[in-house]
Amino acid sequence: MASSPPSSSSSSEEATTSSNGSASVVQFSKYSRRATLRSIVGRPDGGLGLSGKRAVVGGWVKSANVVKAKRGGGAMSPPRMPATDTTGLTCTEVLMARVPLIRCIAKLIAGASTVDKASSSVSYKLGPVTALVRINDGSCVPDLQIVVDSSLCPLEQVTAIGASVLVEGKIELVEGKNQKRVVELRVDKVLHIGAVNIDNKYPLPNVELLPPDELIKDYPQLAPRTTAMASAARVRSEMVHAAHTFFQTNGFFHVNTPIITTTTVAGDRRKMFRVMQPTSKSDNRAITPEVVRASIKAKTKQIEALERSESNKEALEAAELDLQRASELAQQLEQQGSADFSDDSFQHPLYLSPDHILHLETYACALSSVYTFSPAFQAESLEPNKHLAERWTIDAELAFAELEDAISCAVDYLMWLLCTVSKNCSDELKFLSTKENNGNNFHINSVVSSPWERITYNEAVNTLLQVKDKSFEAKVELGMPLSLEHMSYLVDDYYKKPVIIYEYPKQLKPFYARLMEDETKVSAFDIVVPKVGIVACGTQKEERMDKLTARIDDLSLPRDQLEWYLDIRRHGTVKHSGFSMDMEQLILLVTGLDK
Amino acid sequence: MASSPPSSSSSSEEATTSSNGSASVVQFSKYSRRATLRSIVGRPDGGLGLSGKRAVVGGWVKSANVVKAKRGGGAMSPPRMPATDTTGLTCTEVLMARVPLIRCIAKLIAGASTVDKASSSVSYKLGPVTALVRINDGSCVPDLQIVVDSSLCPLEQVTAIGASVLVEGKIELVEGKNQKRVVELRVDKVLHIGAVNIDNKYPLPNVELLPPDELIKDYPQLAPRTTAMASAARVRSEMVHAAHTFFQTNGFFHVNTPIITTTTVAGDRRKMFRVMQPTSKSDNRAITPEVVRASIKAKTKQIEALERSESNKEALEAAELDLQRASELAQQLEQQGSADFSDDSFQHPLYLSPDHILHLETYACALSSVYTFSPAFQAESLEPNKHLAERWTIDAELAFAELEDAISCAVDYLMWLLCTVSKNCSDELKFLSTKENNGNNFHINSVVSSPWERITYNEAVNTLLQVKDKSFEAKVELGMPLSLEHMSYLVDDYYKKPVIIYEYPKQLKPFYARLMEDETKVSAFDIVVPKVGIVACGTQKEERMDKLTARIDDLSLPRDQLEWYLDIRRHGTVKHSGFSMDMEQLILLVTGLDK
pLDDT 10s digits, B458-472: 999 999 999 988 889
Least confident of A183-187, A245-249, A569-573, B19-23: B19-23
* Dist. CA A148–CA A166, nearest whole Å: 12
Q: Which of A350, A370, A385 is a domain's end point?
A: A350
* Dist. CA B15–CA B29, nearest whole Å: 8
Q: What is the pLDDT of residues B350-395, one digit of tens each?
A: 888 888 889 999 999 999 999 999 998 877 644 444 445 788 999 9
Least confident of A141-145, B86-90, B434-438, B551-555: B86-90
Higher pLDDT, B124 or A180: A180
What's the pLDDT score for residue A582? 92
What's the pLDDT score for residue B445? 75
- Answer yes or no: is A3 within a domain: no
Higher pLDDT, A531 or A20: A531
| Mean per-residue pLDDT over chain A, rounded | 79
pLDDT band at B200 (very low <50, low <70, confident <90, very high): low
Kindly state the DSSP code that residue A562 receives in the 8-state scheme.
G
Question: Which amino acid is present at B465?
Answer: L
Q: Are residues B327 and B424 in the same domain?
A: no
Higher pLDDT, B5 or A553: A553
Interface of B with A in 123-142 (CB under 8 A): 137-139
State which of B20-29, B204-213, B285-294 shows the largest mean pLDDT. Answer: B204-213
Is B360 in contact with B367 (CB distance < 8 Å)?
no
- Answer yes or no: is B9 within a domain: no
Give me the residues paired with residue B183 across strands. B173
What's the pLDDT score for residue B413? 97
Interface of A with B in 60-79 (CB under 8 A): 60-61
**What residue in B sits closest to A196 (Cα-Cα)?**
B571
* Dist. CA A274–CA A266, nearest whole Å: 15
Residues of A in contact with B409 (CB under 8 A): 30-31
* Dist. CA B363–CA B371, nearest whole Å: 9
Q: Are residues B196 and B236 in the same domain?
A: no
- What number is the average pLDDT over the span A168-187? 86
Least confident of A334-338, A579-583, B573-577: A334-338
* Dist. CA B574–CA B543, nearest whole Å: 6
Element (H, E) at A98: helix A91-98
pLDDT at A449 over 90: no
Q: Which of A350, A368, A383 is a domain's end point?
A: A350
pLDDT band at B397 (very low <50, low <70, confident <90, very high): very high
What's the pLDDT score for residue A467? 92
Distance, C-alpha B462 to centroid of its chain: 36
What's the pLDDT score for residue B260? 82
Q: What is the pLDDT of residues A45-74, one digit of tens each?
A: 999 999 999 999 999 999 999 988 654 434
What's the pLDDT score for residue B315? 67
Q: Are residues A409 and A558 in the same domain?
A: yes
What's the pLDDT score for residue B490? 96
Q: Are residues A460 and A476 in the same domain?
A: yes
What's the pLDDT score for residue A238? 97
Least confident of A266-270, A432-436, B78-82, B364-368: B78-82
Kindly state the DSSP code that residue B329 receives in the 8-state scheme.
H
- Cα of B545 to nearest chain A Cα, Å: 10
Beta strands in B294-429 (DSSP E): 350-352, 369-377, 390-399
What's the pLDDT score for residue B234? 96
A379 contacts B278? CB cut-off 8 A: yes
pLDDT band at B116 (very low <50, low <70, confident <90, very high): very low
What's the pLDDT score for residue A219? 81
What's the pLDDT score for residue A82? 38
- Answer yes or no: is A580 within a domain: yes
pLDDT at B513 over 90: yes
What's the pLDDT score for residue B94? 35
Half-sphere exposure for B108 (CA within 13 Å, toward CB): 6
Higher pLDDT, B419 or A445: B419
- What number is the average pLDDT over the span A547-570? 91
pLDDT at A324 over 60: yes
Least confident of A495-504, B253-262, B336-345, B504-513: B336-345
What's the pLDDT score for residue B122? 41
- Answer yes or no: is A12 within a domain: no
- What number is the average pLDDT over the span A19-23? 44
Mutate to test the interface with B, among A279, A321, A400 (most CBs of B within 10 A): A400
Q: Are residues B333 and B396 in the same domain?
A: no
* Dist. CA A440–CA A446, nearest whole Å: 14
Q: Are residues B315 and B418 in the same domain?
A: no
Q: Are residues A466 and A583 in the same domain?
A: yes
The 3-state DSSP composition of chain A as helix, strand, coil percent (nearest 5) reads 40, 20, 40
Q: Does B366 touch chain A (CB under 8 A)?
A: yes
Q: Are residues B404 and B485 in the same domain?
A: yes
- Cα of B569 to nearest chain A Cα, Å: 8
Kindly state the DSSP code that residue A3 receives in the 8-state scheme.
P
- Helix axes of A583-591 and A227-249: crossing angle, nearest 10 degrees: 110
| Mean per-residue pLDDT over chain B, rounded | 79
Q: Are residues B54 and B135 in the same domain?
A: yes
- Answer yes or no: is A62 within a domain: yes
pLDDT band at B180 (very low <50, low <70, confident <90, very high): confident
Least confident of A275-284, A445-454, A544-553: A275-284
Q: Are residues A339 and A358 in the same domain?
A: no
Least confident of A242-246, A433-437, B232-236, B408-412: A433-437
- Answer yes or no: is B13 within a domain: no
Least confident of A356-360, B124-128, B313-317: B124-128
- Answer yes or no: is B97 within a domain: yes
What's the pLDDT score for residue B322? 67
A274 contacts B273? CB cut-off 8 A: no
CATH code, B126: 2.40.50.140
pLDDT band at A281 (very low <50, low <70, confident <90, very high): very low
A203 contacts B568? CB cut-off 8 A: no
Question: Which amino acid is present at B99?
Answer: V
B245 contacts A6? CB cut-off 8 A: yes
Mutate to test the interface with A, among B368, B387, B414 (most CBs of A within 10 A): B368
Residue A67, domain extent? 21-202
Q: What percent of chain A has pLDDT over 90?
A: 48
- What number is the average pLDDT over the span A390-418? 95
A560: how many CB neighbours lie within 10 A of its CB?
A: 7
A382 contacts B277? CB cut-off 8 A: yes
Kindly state the DSSP code that residue A123 receives in the 8-state scheme.
-
* Dist. CA B447–CA B36, nearest whole Å: 33
State which of A75-84, A196-205, A419-428 shows the largest mean pLDDT. Answer: A419-428
* Dist. CA A594–CA A432, nearest whole Å: 11
Q: What is the pLDDT of residues B56-105, one digit of tens each?
A: 999 999 999 998 865 443 444 443 333 333 333 333 333 333 333 444 33
Is A283 in contact with A342 (CB distance < 8 Å)?
yes
pLDDT band at B233 (very low <50, low <70, confident <90, very high): very high
- What number is the average pLDDT over the span A568-594? 90
Residues of B in contact with A389 (CB under 8 A): 260
What's the pLDDT score for residue B275? 78
A274-276 and A350-352: which strand pairing? antiparallel
What's the pLDDT score for residue A237? 97
- Answer yes or no: is B213 within a domain: no
Q: Are residues B56 and B196 in the same domain?
A: yes
Q: Which of A305, A328, A350 is a domain's end point?
A: A350
A399 contacts B162? CB cut-off 8 A: no
* Residue A121 phi, psi (nearest 5): -70, 155
Q: Does A4 touch chain B (CB under 8 A)?
A: no
**What is the domain count for chain B?**
3
B245 contacts A253? CB cut-off 8 A: no
pLDDT at B475 over 50: yes
What's the pLDDT score for residue B453? 96
Question: Which amino acid is present at B559?
Answer: R
- What number is the average pLDDT over the span B276-291? 51
CA nearest to A379, candidates A483, A277, A267, A536? A267
Interface of B with A in 431-450 (CB under 8 A): 448-449
Q: What is the pLDDT of residues A353-393, one digit of tens each?
A: 888 889 999 999 999 999 999 998 877 644 444 445 788 99
ipTM score for this prediction: 0.80
Least confident of A80-94, A453-467, B19-33: A80-94
Least confident of A448-452, B46-50, B177-181, B474-478: B177-181
CA distances from B233 to B140, B230, B266, B394, B580 (A): 11, 5, 30, 17, 21
CATH code, A244: 3.30.930.10
Q: Does B244 touch chain A (CB under 8 A)?
A: yes
- What number is the average pLDDT over the span A448-457? 91
pLDDT at B125 over 70: no
* Dist. CA B499–CA A339, nearest whole Å: 48
* Dist. CA B36–CA B58, nearest whole Å: 7
Q: Are residues B298 and B358 in the same domain?
A: no
Is B239 in contact with B347 (CB distance < 8 Å)?
no
pLDDT band at A330 (very low <50, low <70, confident <90, very high): low
Please, what is the Cα angle at B266 between B261 and B268, to 5 degrees? 100
Higher pLDDT, A577 or B378: A577
* Dist. CA A590–CA A587, nearest whole Å: 5
Least confident of A79-83, A536-540, B133-137, B304-308: A79-83
- Cα of B39 to nearest chain A Cα, Å: 10
